[in-house]
Chains A and B, each alone.
Chain A
Amino acid sequence: MNESPDTNGWEDQIGALLDGELTDEQAISLRAAAEHDPTLARAIDGAIELRQIMSKIPAEPAPRRLRKQLRQIPRQNRVVDRSGFLQLRWVMASATAAIAVTIAISQMWPQGPTDAQITQARQEFNLVLAYLARANRKTSNSIRLNIGHGFAGPVTKNTVRIISNQFGLDKE
């Protein structure tokens, strides 16, 4: 991997940038550094994308203290693992996994389905009913065919005979 070993030092600043906690000078300095450091630029882009995804999730944000603790995890392991960007990735991966679980729960939880989801389920249900109707048509056609070959002839012949007798048609 060709990540910059300096990326470790930027983690807090990226977090602070997204939280709007950097001064103008610090923000300009960070952006200037990103122009010369593709790894840093990717880290910022990734963090922004993640923040955008999180903003679309209908869930309460994690407590500030927890986010701070998450940001501190790579720092605690810095001595063991020097690939700082990799650590940032794992923090982001953990956060994304947490978002994923939130999405899954919000989709399954009783308070969850939106009008659009209910409408879609209704359309899907209609499609199932359409297939049921088609199977029903096939079976009823088959039954009609069987009746036609087996019973329909005698039944219709008898009916015609009875009606004919009633009205004396066979005498004419």
Chain B
Amino acid sequence: MLSCNIKGVSNGFPLRIEAGKVIEKEVDFNPDFLKHMFAKIEWKALVEGARSMGYAELPEDSPDATVLDSGDETFLRKLHHALLELHLEEGALVCPETGRKFPVNKGIPNMLLHEDEV
């Protein structure tokens, strides 16, 4: 969802995840919420992101939206896990163009820019 917003950077998405420590949190499963979010997701970026955090269960290509309503929850469960239960505790988000690292500390990505990047 986030991108690199350093001035002059045009292609700051997707941020690559440099995983230091990944934790899993259990979150209540909510299909409605997932369906709503699914429409907004850049699928490739999510697959990449999940993989760099050690979760490779997501299909390479974005599934058809019909899967969501088919009654089969396998896919939604996977999406749920990747989207909501995987947390990057320590690590960094790296801009694909400049290589600028946005550190992630105690689960909080620090997206603030330095003075010369504004």
A and B part of one assembly: no
